[in-house]
A = this chain, B = another copy of it.
Amino acid sequence: MSTMKKLGERKAIEAIRQILSLPRMPIPFGDDVSGLEIGRNLVAILKTDMLVKETDVPPTMSFWQAGRKAVVMNISDFAAKGVKPIALLVALGVPADFLKKDVEQLAEGLNAGAREYDAYVIGGDTSEASDLVISCSLFGLSKRGLLMLRSGAEPGDILAVTGLFGKTAAGLKLLLENLSVSSTIGKVFLDAVLMPQARLNEGLVLSRVGAVSSSIDSSDGLAWSLHEIRRASNVGFIIDYLPVATEVLRFAKRNNVDPVELALYGGEEYELVLTIKQRMWKKALRAVKQVGGSLIRIGRVTEEAEMILHWEGRTISIEPRGWEHFKSGK
């Protein structure tokens, strides 16, 4: 019999999709968020994402940080679509022996995560569960033309990201294995794990300038995000600059870890992965800088369905794998 462990999250979702009666939707099933037309060219945007303590909360993460992360995970998907989050509901599953002060810490973290992105927690539900489960559902509004989908990338477009990769993967390695690193770099990695940032300002401004042909966040890893855009847009990629943080390069060298693995396949990173029309590149760059962000050109979109990385003189084939519930993780 096929179990979830054998099947993996992605095939399970595909099996569920086959069963659902789907209406006409402005955003295809399986994109980062769901959408519903509500008239006047407006689209109601909805997103739900569940954080489970056992698989999603690394050691040393506080309840405050777990609450905040549960919110940021959802905000990041809105960022990737260029949608301003307005409010969220939180369904909490909490063990009966949980302390009141821990629930309060969790609530402080949820509230802080929402307020950080100018959204509000406006309601929810509390249930008894065997492990801590935080299920957020986020609501926002968008104009149809402003949505940035996974589909739409075209050959010749510039491939770009909003930050450097590998810090979260290195941080998780630090927490779970016994590796050596300077305390300064250790702090950078732990911050990446414990205090993830959603690129909301970047996503919103890029949606406004209309420069983006496709977009996704990188919560399942850079390689997987590229694979998803490739699949939705029917294109390929050549990457000639690996966006890896210098701290990650140093850490990788010192501990004999492959930096390409850390940068491409880590997951739990919340940068945006975007394709941008060539003629709009400068405008996009300026817009992102104006909101204090960065936009890093890492390659280009190709017609062939390839995923290739040029790195230190080698040509590496990027595999369509990344973080996946039931398959990855503990």
Chain A interface (Cβ within 8 Å of chain B)? 1-5, 7, 9, 12-13, 15-16, 19-23, 25, 29, 33-34, 36, 38, 40, 42, 44, 46-52, 54-56, 86-87, 89-101, 103-104, 107-108, 110-111, 114-115, 120-131, 133, 135, 137, 139, 141, 325-326, 329
Contact = CB atoms under 8 A, between A and B. Distances in A.
B4 A95 contact: yes
A150 to B, nearest CB: 14
A191 B56 CA distance: 38
B34 A128 contact: no
Nearest to A139: B46
Contacts of A42: 38
Interface of A is mostly: mixed
B127 A129 contact: no
A128 to B, nearest CB: 5
Contacts of A89: 34, 46-48, 137
A128 B326 contact: yes
A103 B104 CA distance: 33
A16 B115 CA distance: 15
B125 A3 contact: no
A93 B50 contact: yes
Contact of A127 (B29, B34, B52, B92): B52
A86 B36 contact: yes
A24 to B, nearest CB: 10
A124 to B, nearest CB: 6
Contacts of A91: 48-50, 91, 135, 137
Nearest to A135: B135
Contact of A99 (B1, B108, B114): B1
Given A87-B34, A87-B46, A54 B129 contact: yes
Nearest to A123: B34
A216 B135 CA distance: 24
A127 B50 contact: yes
A135 B52 CA distance: 12
**A99, A124, A139 pick with most chain B CB within 10 angstroms:** A124
